[in-house]
Amino acid sequence: ACATGNTNIVRMILEAGADIEAELPNTDRPLHVALINEQRDMAKLLIVKGANINVRASRSRTPLHLAAEYAVFEAALMLLDKGASTEDVDEETWTPLCCSGHPDMVELLISRGANVDYADKDNWTPLHQAVSNKDYHTAVQLVRAGASVDVRTTDDGLTVMERAKDLNDRRESDRFVELLEREIFWRETRKDSKAEKSKEPECDVVELGGDYVEVSAQGPSIEVGDA
């Protein structure tokens, strides 16, 4: 019933005393089954009814891993609101962010503090994975969120930019390199702009002798207008 999304039957079964944490042969629980089958209403029902939000499924995945992988946004939001961790790792040493490629899900996880520079057992970051999967949208989101492009993996020894250049399809590779270079350029430009702005001396506008002037640490300097 959890796989097919029949919430009425599941609600009746639970009210009759069924175990919401009943374990299947592969160690999955009802909530895992609902998420894997993208049964959004079923997943929400099970969470509301008290399903364990941290219990591990096969491959040691948490419900949030599954919600991220299968893009069950509403369930992911509920799990996060109930305290699910964005940094739990599965047996592949992936966090939920590593499992996600859906723009809204990536944005949600980043907004809830997911580490964009998390590195798995082979030092692959979410940005490495996005480039390898030719996932332009996720790559842009990660770069804009501050993800490093300098991390080098330990299995094949590539940085993010080197991975983009190493894609099999030359047109895809050129497109990805151009995209990354543009996003990195604008990210660094914004950083420089903020840094310059922070160096500007603080000043206040006060009235002096009938005129309004800006007063900084160096004294009155710029006339603003008449009183």
pLDDT tens digits along 17-47: 999 999 887 779 999 999 999 999 999 999 9
Q: What is the pLDDT of residue 128?
A: 96
Q: For residue 93, how many C-alpha atoms fall within 13 Å in the half-sphere facing its CB?
A: 8
φ, ψ (nearest 5 deg) of residue 31: -65, -40
Q: Please name which of 77, 12, 13 lies closest in space to residue 40, comparing C-alpha atoms.
A: 77
- Give the per-residue pLDDT at 1: 72
Identify the band that residue 200 occupies on the pLDDT scale cut at 50, 70 and 90: low
Q: Is the pLDDT of residue 12 over 70?
A: yes
* Token code pair at residue 82: 């109930």
Q: Is the pLDDT of residue 84 over 50?
A: yes
Tokens, residue 55:
């219990």
pLDDT at res. 213 = 42
- The structure tokens 């692959």 sit at 124
Say yes or no to pLDDT of 177 above 50. Answer: yes
- The predicted pLDDT at position 24 comes to 82
Average pLDDT over residues 107-116: 97
Determine the pLDDT at residue 5. Answer: 81
Question: Residue 223: its pLDDT value, please?
Answer: 44
Question: Has residue 201 got a pLDDT over 80?
Answer: no
Superfamily the domain 1-92 falls into: Ankyrin repeat-containing domain (1.25.40.20)
Is the per-residue pLDDT at 221 higher than 90? no
* Mean model confidence pLDDT for the chain: 87
Closest CA to 47 of 61, 27, 67: 67
Residues 116-174 pLDDT 10s: 999 999 999 999 999 999 999 999 999 999 999 999 999 999 999 999 999 999 998 99
Looking at residue 2, what is its pLDDT? 82
pLDDT computed for residue 202 by the predictor: 56
Task: Determine the Cα angle at 55 with ends 24 and 71, to 5°.
Answer: 90
pLDDT at 103 over 50: yes
Mean pLDDT, range 208-214, rounded to an integer = 46
Flag whether pLDDT at 97 surpasses 50: yes
pTM (two decimals)? 0.81
Q: How far apart are CA 167 and CA 144, in angstroms?
A: 22
Q: What residues does each domain of the chain span? A: 1-92
User: For residue 78, what pLDDT band results from cuts at 50, 70 and 90?
Assistant: very high
Contacts of 102 (CB under 8 A, 6+ apart): 68, 71, 73
